[in-house]
Amino acid sequence: MFKRLAEAGAPVAITVDGKAISARAGDTVAAALLVAGIDHCRTTPVTGAPRAPYCLMGVCFDCLVTVDGVGSRQGCLVPVREGMTIETQLGKREAGR
C-alpha cells in the first residue's frame, strides 16, 4: 500500500506479533505497520471487523495496538524504538493482556 521514497533514517528493529520487522528512525508505529504491508492492526470489539490506520493524526483511533504490553495505544502517535514489541489487538482487549 505504501513504499518508502528513500531509505533514510537508521534501521530500528521491532517485532509485530512476534515477527521481526525493520522500521526506520522517525517512523511511528502506524507508519511502520503500513510500510511493512501489515493489512490490519486490530479487529473491532463489536463485530470483529478488521481495521487499519485511517487518519494518522490521532483522531480516528483505528490504529490502536498493544505496545510493550500496554494495550490500546494510538500507533500513529508512538515513535518506534529499538526492541519495541507490538501486538495487534483482536476484538475486545482482554483483561491482563
Partner 1 sequence: MNASDLAPTYDLAVIGGGPAGLAAASLAARAGLSTVLFDENPGIGGQIYRGITSTPVTDRTILGEDYWAGAELAAEAKTSGALIVGGATVWSLDPQRIVGVSIGGKARLIEARRVIIATGAQERPFPVPGWTLPGVMTAGGAQTALKAQGLLPAGRTVIAGTGPLLWLLAAQILRAGGKIEAILDTTPRANWLRALPHLPDFVLSPYFAKGLKLLREVRAKAPVVRADRIEAVGTERLSEVRFGRGDGDRRIAADLLLLHQGIVPNVNLAIAAGVAHEWNERQLCFQPVLDPDFGSSVPGIAVAGDGAGIAGGTAAAERGRIAAIAAVCALKPQATVPDPQTVRQRLQREEMGRAFLDWLNRPAERFRQPEGDTLVCRCEEVTAQQVHDMAAMGCEGPNQMKAFLRCGMGPCQGRLCGLTVTELIAQQRDTTPAEVGYYRLRPPVKPITLAELASLPISEIERKAVER
- Provide the binding-site residues for partner 1, judged by CB under 8 A: 1-6, 8-9, 24, 26-28, 31, 34-35, 39-40, 44, 46-47, 49-62, 64, 70, 72, 76-77, 79
Backbone angles phi, psi at 30, to 5 degrees: -65, -40
Q: Choose between 19 and 48: whose C-beta lies nearer to partner 1.
A: 48
Query: Which cell numbers hold the place of 96?
Result: 491482563
Q: Choose between 9 and 15: whose C-beta lies nearer to partner 1.
A: 9
Q: What is the distance of C-alpha 93 from the center of its chain?
A: 15
CA distance 32 to 83: 13
Q: At closest approach, how far in Å is the CB of 90 from partner 1?
A: 14
